[in-house]
Structure 1
Amino acid sequence: MPWSQAEPAPVVLVSGAEALLSERASERIVARVRETDPDVEVTRVDAATYAAGELTVLTSPSLFAEGKVVLVEGVERAGDALLLDAEAYLADPVPDVVVVLRHGGGQRGKRLLDAAKRAQVPTVACDPVKTDADKSAFVQDELRRAGRRADARGVRALVDAVGSDLRELAAACAQLVADTTGLIGEEAVQRYHGGRVEATGFQVADAAVAGDAGKAVALLRHALATGLDPVPIVAAVAARLRTLAKVGAVRGRGAAAARELGMAPWQVDRAAQDLRRWTPEGLAVAISAVAQADAEVKGEGRDPRFAVERAVLRVAAAVDR
Structure 2
Amino acid sequence: MTQAPAPANLILGTETFLAERRRSAIVAAARAHADAPDVPVEMHKATDITAPELAELLSPSLFSEDRIIVVTGVEDAAQDTVKLLEQAIADPADGVVLVMTHTGKGRNKKLVNTWPKMGVQVHSAGELKGRDRHAFVEQEFRSHGVRVSPDVVSLVLDSVGSGLRELASAISQLAADTGGNVTADSVRKYYQGRAEVTGFEVADLAVTGRLYEAVVAARRALQLGVPHVLLAAALCGAVADIARVAGARRIDPRRDAADYGMAPWKLEKTMRHARMWSPEAISEGLQVVAHLDADVKGRSQSADYAVEHAVRRIASLAAGQG
Q: Which TM-score band (shorter chain)?
A: 0.5 to 0.7
Which amino acid in 2 is paired with 1:20?
F
Question: For the structure 1 residues 164 and 25, does the alpha-carbon distance in structure 2 shift closer, same or farther, using more than 3 Å as the test?
Answer: same
For 1:138-196, what per-residue CA distance to the aligned partner results, in whole angstroms no more than 9, with x for missing partners?
A: 11111111111222211110011123211111111011012112431112212223454
Partner of 1:75 in structure 2?
A: 74
Which amino acid in 2 is paired with 1:176?
L
Partner of 1:21 in structure 2?
A: 18
Looking at structure 2, the residues matched to 196 and 6 of structure 1 have their Cα atoms a distance apart, in angstroms, of: 43
Give RMSD over aligned pairs: 2.6
Looking at structure 2, the residues matched to 73 and 67 of structure 1 have their Cα atoms a distance apart, in angstroms, of: 20
Looking at structure 2, the residues matched to 161 and 32 of structure 1 have their Cα atoms a distance apart, in angstroms, of: 34
Looking at structure 1, the residues matched to 191 and 62 of structure 2 have their Cα atoms a distance apart, in angstroms, of: 53
Which amino acid in 2 is paired with 1:22?
A
Looking at structure 2, the residues matched to 110 and 96 of structure 1 have their Cα atoms a distance apart, in angstroms, of: 28
1:157 aligns with 2:155: yes
Looking at structure 2, the residues matched to 175 and 160 of structure 1 have their Cα atoms a distance apart, in angstroms, of: 16
State how 1:141-156 maps to structure 2 within 5 Å: 141-156=139-154
Partner of 2:318 in structure 1?
A: none
Moved more, 93-102 or 70-79: 70-79
User: Does the Cα contact within 8 Å between 2:74 and 2:102 map onto a contact in 1?
Assistant: yes
Q: Give 1:114 deviation, angstroms.
A: 2.8
SS in 2 for 1:44: strand
Looking at structure 1, the residues matched to 161 and 29 of structure 2 have their Cα atoms a distance apart, in angstroms, of: 30
Looking at structure 2, the residues matched to 56 and 15 of structure 1 have their Cα atoms a distance apart, in angstroms, of: 23
Partner of 1:180 in structure 2?
A: 178
User: Does the Cα contact within 8 Å between 1:13 and 1:124 map onto a contact in 2?
Assistant: yes
User: Does the Cα contact within 8 Å between 1:50 and 1:81 map onto a contact in 2?
Assistant: no
Moved more, 188-197 or 150-159: 188-197
Gaps of at least 5 residues in structure 2 are 199-264, 266-322
1:127 aligns with 2:126: yes
User: Does the Cα contact within 8 Å between 1:87 and 1:115 map onto a contact in 2?
Assistant: no
User: Does the Cα contact within 8 Å between 2:89 and 2:119 map onto a contact in 1?
Assistant: no
Question: For the structure 1 residues 135 and 114, does the alpha-carbon distance in structure 2 shift closer, same or farther, using more than 3 Å as the test?
Answer: closer
Which amino acid in 2 is paired with 1:14?
I
Q: Give 1:19 deviation, angstroms.
A: 0.8
Question: For the structure 1 residues 113 and 69, does the alpha-carbon distance in structure 2 shift closer, same or farther, using more than 3 Å as the test?
Answer: same
Looking at structure 2, the residues matched to 182 and 124 of structure 1 have their Cα atoms a distance apart, in angstroms, of: 30
Looking at structure 1, the residues matched to 136 and 143 of structure 2 have their Cα atoms a distance apart, in angstroms, of: 11
Q: Give 1:95 deviation, angstroms.
A: 2.1
Partner of 2:138 in structure 1?
A: 140
SS in 2 for 1:23: helix
Gaps of at least 5 residues in structure 1 are 201-293, 295-321
User: Does the Cα contact within 8 Å between 1:59 and 1:68 map onto a contact in 2?
Assistant: no
Q: Give 1:130 deviation, angstroms.
A: 1.7
SS in 1 for 2:97: strand
Which amino acid in 1 is paired with 2:11?
V
State how many pairs are aligned. 196
Looking at structure 2, the residues matched to 153 and 24 of structure 1 have their Cα atoms a distance apart, in angstroms, of: 27
Partner of 1:30 in structure 2?
A: 27
Looking at structure 1, the residues matched to 192 and 101 of structure 2 have their Cα atoms a distance apart, in angstroms, of: 36
User: Does the Cα contact within 8 Å between 2:58 and 2:88 map onto a contact in 1?
Assistant: no
Looking at structure 2, the residues matched to 188 and 135 of structure 1 have their Cα atoms a distance apart, in angstroms, of: 21
Partner of 2:306 in structure 1?
A: none
Q: Give 1:48 deviation, angstroms.
A: 2.2
Looking at structure 1, the residues matched to 194 and 40 of structure 2 have their Cα atoms a distance apart, in angstroms, of: 42
Question: For the structure 1 residues 196 and 164, does the alpha-carbon distance in structure 2 shift closer, same or farther, using more than 3 Å as the test?
Answer: farther
1:90 aligns with 2:105: no
Q: Give 1:7 deviation, angstroms.
A: 5.8
Which amino acid in 1 is paired with 2:62?
L
Which amino acid in 2 is paired with 1:100?
V
Which amino acid in 2 is paired with 1:111?
K
